[in-house]
Structure 1
């Protein structure tokens, strides 16, 4: 096959992949922003419950000043949008701008919709789920709806604190402020909504079929590797290792599985070598090789 033809075919494939990603972004970023807007206007805001970050600051400011919430969400995120453009890139900034604008419009559209529940716990749970899924979809497709993460990245470069620590500090301050404005019971429900949103973001980003890395050290490495390959259809890699204490040469098995296959791998290792060392860790993304996510049979 001529090399020029191969190059053209590869370029066309890359172009299709780019178009597919762009199409997904055009669908899921607006969808995510609208889900966040629904969570705010249908569940949280009518019950005086807030979320963390810029969204929480916007809710508090809108309540105290009677300024439109959608307008505040866009205005408060603009400075962080500029920072995001400088720190992360043009594509991120453009995707974030689209998400913020749709979020502002969505808040205005959902504002006349009657509140679905006045039960504070239900409002916290379902509002948190809507926000978590919405924010997760936007992040998964290259954008952001909250500027605190961008600010945390900048602080992380100038201070000894991690991004997570900076975000946590800011949100403790924001959620604590809700106690002075709405009452301490609302602040506690806000904390519930924030925690549920945080966990839902993780679930949306990682998916239900989250991948896991597996490391196994055993003298029966070949039997274990063959069993994993035969029973799960997973490829394994044998790595050379050395015991730091004994200096003995060791073979280390490495493979990637789905969450549903974890129990089977543990059973295989126990059957072949009860004294084997086994470590399982979460993986956020897997690409390349022969790995395909699939359900176990």
Structure 2
């Protein structure tokens, strides 16, 4: 394997390791000490910990083997390799943090359910979001979520939220209702953080301007804002007249300025503003 190819693999593997480390820390530092829950296979491992004292590092590895084999058939070779790395590294970091807590190197956080659920949501969501963004999973329901996302285009966060709510609902037989309610807060926050990381930290706004004076608006935006604009030919469905649409992506701080330019040139301009995420290219994020 060449140096450049190895470097490419490491750029994927290292973030997956970081993500599973954050996720494992959130489970052992915020979830388990406060008798909270999680969804999917991870939720089952936590229930086994509560009921029988079985180490999550062991049960996570054992329960994920069948799902790993299923993922191998559906997701493909390279992707499932990253999933295997995610499963193995999660069990490894769970074991590491367990030993650190047993030795007293890390003190558990078990004082405030509200703070615990908030921090659990952030850490678990950040960990999973990083893993997902670089093509891995931590096994369990994550494999199911990635399969459904690949086939039907559903949001990873939405799929995880749905599966987690079902699993957590079943845990009512073992965990107090108050703890389940706090868990739902953590799950919701985690799903938002996952989507935030998946879509990209940099969010912008896309302007679609429909106007008879679209070329003039585009020229003004280019000169005054130094932003690229694309002119798209269009035909009015009612008037049957040819016109242009101007399409431009700007940062959030430039929304008011661009809107003012368009309205000053054509007060009757039809303007559509929509969210865009993870913007790459000149003037935004350069890869």
Q: Give the Cα–Cα distance (whole angstroms) in 1 for the partners of residues 209 and 173 of structure 2.
A: 53
Which residue number corresponds to residue 267 of structure 2?
Answer: 274
Which residue number corresponds to residue 20 of structure 2?
Answer: 33
**Residues 231 and 286 of structure 1, relative CA distance in 2, 3 Å threshold:** same
Unaligned runs of 5+ in 2: none
**Residues 87 and 185 of structure 1, relative CA distance in 2, 3 Å threshold:** same
* Contact 1:179-1:185 within 8 A present in 2 as well: no
Q: Give the Cα–Cα distance (whole angstroms) in 1 for the partners of residues 176 and 242 of structure 2.
A: 63
Q: Does 1:123 align with 2:110?
A: no
Which residue number corresponds to residue 139 of structure 1?
Answer: 132
Q: Does 1:73 align with 2:66?
A: no
* Contact 2:205-2:249 within 8 A present in 1 as well: yes
- Give the superposed CA RMSD: 2.8
Measure how far apart 1:284 and its partner are: 4.0
TM-score by length of 1: 0.82
Q: Give the Cα–Cα distance (whole angstroms) in 1 for the partners of residues 149 and 11 of structure 2.
A: 31
Query: Quick one: which of 194, 215, 229 aligns to 1:222?
Result: 215
**Residues 20 and 211 of structure 1, relative CA distance in 2, 3 Å threshold:** farther
Which residue number corresponds to residue 48 of structure 1?
Answer: 35
Measure how far apart 1:35 and its partner are: 0.3
Q: Give the Cα–Cα distance (whole angstroms) in 2 for the partners of residues 161 and 252 of structure 1.
A: 28
Q: Does 1:291 align with 2:282?
A: yes
Measure how far apart 1:31 and its partner are: 0.7
Structure-to-structure mapping, 1:1-297, within 5 angstroms: 16=4, 20-111=7-98, 112=101, 113-152=106-145, 167-286=160-279, 290-293=281-284
Q: Give the Cα–Cα distance (whole angstroms) in 1 for the partners of residues 162 and 31 of structure 2.
A: 22
**Residues 80 and 255 of structure 1, relative CA distance in 2, 3 Å threshold:** farther
1:21-50 per-position Cα deviation (integer Å, ceiling 9, x unaligned):
423223211111000011110111110112
Measure how far apart 1:152 and its partner are: 4.7
SS at 2:273 equivalent: strand
SS at 2:37 equivalent: coil
1:109-161 per-position Cα deviation (integer Å, ceiling 9, x unaligned):
22213213420010111111111111111111111124324325657899x99
Unaligned runs of 5+ in 1: 1-11
Q: Give the Cα–Cα distance (whole angstroms) in 2 for the partners of residues 174 and 202 of structure 1.
A: 21
Number of residue pairs aligned between Structure 1 and Structure 2: 277
Measure how far apart 1:264 and its partner are: 3.2
TM-score by length of 2: 0.84
